[in-house]
Amino acid sequence: FALRYFKDAPPVFQRLFLESSDSSLVRYGRKRMKLRDLMEAAYRFLQQNQPKFSKLWDWSMCAPLLRSHDTLVRWYTANCLALVTQMNDEHKSNFLKKVLSSEELLHFRVNYLRRSCFFVSWGSFGVYHLVLVESTCSNLQSLALAVASQNPVLLEGPIGCGKTALVEYLAAVTGRGKPPAILKVQLGDQTDSKMLLGMYRCTDVPGEFIWQPGTLTQAVSNGYWILLEDIDYAPLDVISVLIPLLENGELLIPGRGDYIKAASGFQFFATRRLYSSGSGWYRQQNTCAALLDKHWTKIKVDNMSRAELKEVLQSKYQNQGVVTDRLLDIYCQLTGDKHQIADDVELDSRAEEKRPCLEGRGLSLR
């Protein structure tokens, strides 16, 4: 319908210019609000059918709007022109930096991530599903802010508290739910830099070798998201590869002598385990990963409280409400006080002597 209508009608953004030749009237009051709405509508039309609308309308008359006093008008206009001229991610990022300040760009990125999380949480679109309890929402907001700022992110927390799930959820709601848009690597004692950077491998032709890029090299080159799990287990040669990437945004491949600049859209995540003791939580000492501490935006992810666990169970298994409290009693008895809030621990201190002494590997929500 829209294509048939606008085949003979003027573009949506042209109507405001036809009403008044005085551009100063556009800046204030109802005119400004109308211009916001018109440019947003033009952007939505372009998103739905870019090939048709980019040729149907004369977009050159929108160029003066890039100097508008209204930030939203500049934002929609810049995105429209980026779609019309078919800019790639790098060119679009540079273009937006010329039109908007760094603070304005950060504001729009954060709002976009928040709207995405809210929209998908109320729908059922086959993405990674989380029950958005209070602590999860708070952690998602911190994570979204770090991503919008394009900072490398380190999520710290005990086993099974949801560090990886937060990254997967944010990737899903921003259209990066499947590989290769997001890549995950489990680090361990046997992990070396070749797995991340790449190596030469032989072909079917005797004596012939080709370069096979590793997971990190692919992510940096193509602007993917990458998650390195258990960064505290990374050996020194892996840490030495990551330091220049976090410092300068460049990946050095020693065997080839290449420097690869991180492509637009690249985002680096890592997780680190915290361990429990009588005095609280602590992280593994004397690890090479401590060399990276100053480069991270750190997010502490705690265990959910008992009330939040109950909310998750009731949301996931609505027909099991009769046994929910009993299941939580058994689980919390086995795991200790890590899911109790401070007041609950204080009130429950009298029952501490009655609890069984459990030794061995701790239980988690996994």
CATH number of the domain residue 203 falls in: 3.40.50.300
The pLDDT score that the predictor gives to residue 128 is 53
The pLDDT score that the predictor gives to residue 155 is 96
Q: Quick one: tokens of 354?
A: 């009655």
Strand segments (E) across the chain: 153-157, 182-186, 198-202, 209-213, 225-229, 250-253, 258-261, 267-277, 280-283, 297-300
Query: Is it true that the peptide bond before 180 is cis, omega within 30 degrees of 0?
Result: yes
* Claim to verify: residue 245 and residue 260 sit in the same structural domain: yes
* Claim to verify: residue 291 and residue 161 sit in the same structural domain: yes
* Claim to verify: residue 328 and residue 278 sit in the same structural domain: no
* Claim to verify: residue 215 and residue 280 sit in the same structural domain: yes
How many domains does the chain divide into?
A: 3
Nearest-5° angle of CA 80, CA 85, CA 87? Answer: 90
For residue 156, what are the β-bridge partners?
272, 300
* Claim to verify: residue 321 and residue 193 sit in the same structural domain: no
Q: Quick one: tokens of 359?
A: 């030794």
Residue 251 lies in a domain: yes
* Claim to verify: residue 66 and residue 1 sit in the same structural domain: yes
Q: Which of 300, 316, 345 is the last residue of a domain?
A: 300
Give the burial string for 84-120 (b: 16+ CB within 10 Å, else e).
Answer: beebeeeebeebbeebbeeeebeebbbeebbebbeeb
The pLDDT score that the predictor gives to residue 231 is 94
209-213 vs 258-261, strand pairing mode: unpaired
Q: Which of 273, 300, 327 is the last residue of a domain?
A: 300
Q: Quick one: tokens of 139?
A: 């952690």
| C-alpha closest to that of 289 among 344, 234, 214, 365 | 234
The pLDDT score that the predictor gives to residue 182 is 92
Residue 41 main-chain phi, psi, to 5 deg = -60, -40
* Claim to verify: residue 158 and residue 281 sit in the same structural domain: yes
Alpha carbon distance 264, 244 (integer Å): 17
* Claim to verify: residue 163 and residue 275 sit in the same structural domain: yes
Give one DSSP letter per residue of 309-345, joined into a string. HHHHHHHH-GGGHHHHHHHHHHHHHHHTTTTS-HHHH
Residue 355 lies in a domain: no
Residue 112 lies in a domain: no
The pLDDT score that the predictor gives to residue 301 is 93
Dihedral sign computed on CA atoms, order 18, 21, 26, 30? negative
Alpha carbon distance 322, 332 (integer Å): 17
Q: Is 158 helix (H, G, I), strand (E, B) or coil?
A: coil
* Claim to verify: residue 48 and residue 177 sit in the same structural domain: no
Residue 124 lies in a domain: no
For residue 283, what are the β-bridge partners?
274
* Claim to verify: residue 186 and residue 273 sit in the same structural domain: yes
The pLDDT score that the predictor gives to residue 121 is 43
Q: Are 34 and 72 in contact (CB under 8 A)?
A: no
DSSP-assigned letter for residue 12: T
Strand segments (E) across 110-223: 153-157, 182-186, 198-202, 209-213
Under 8 Å CB-to-CB from 31, ≥6 apart: which residues?
16, 20, 25
Residue 342 lies in a domain: no
* Claim to verify: residue 4 and residue 82 sit in the same structural domain: yes
Residue 214 lies in a domain: yes
CA distances from 129 to 164, 231, 269 (A): 13, 25, 20
The pLDDT score that the predictor gives to residue 22 is 41
* Claim to verify: residue 69 and residue 194 sit in the same structural domain: no
The pLDDT score that the predictor gives to residue 364 is 66
Provide the residue-wise pLDDT of the chain in tens; the chain has 366 residues.
Answer: 667 777 777 777 665 554 444 444 444 445 555 788 888 888 888 888 888 888 888 888 888 889 888 888 899 999 999 999 999 878 888 898 899 988 888 778 777 666 655 444 434 334 457 888 999 989 998 998 899 888 999 999 998 889 999 999 998 888 787 888 899 999 988 888 999 999 888 888 888 888 889 999 999 999 999 999 999 999 999 999 999 999 999 998 887 778 899 998 899 999 999 887 666 677 776 678 889 999 999 999 998 988 999 998 888 888 887 888 888 888 888 877 666 654 444 434 444 444 444 444 456 666
Residue 360 lies in a domain: no
CA dihedral 159, 118, 151, 74 (to 10 degrees): 180
Domain of 313, in residue numbers: 306-335
Residue 310 lies in a domain: yes
Q: Quick one: tokens of 342?
A: 């401070």
Q: Quick one: tokens of 145?
A: 């802010």
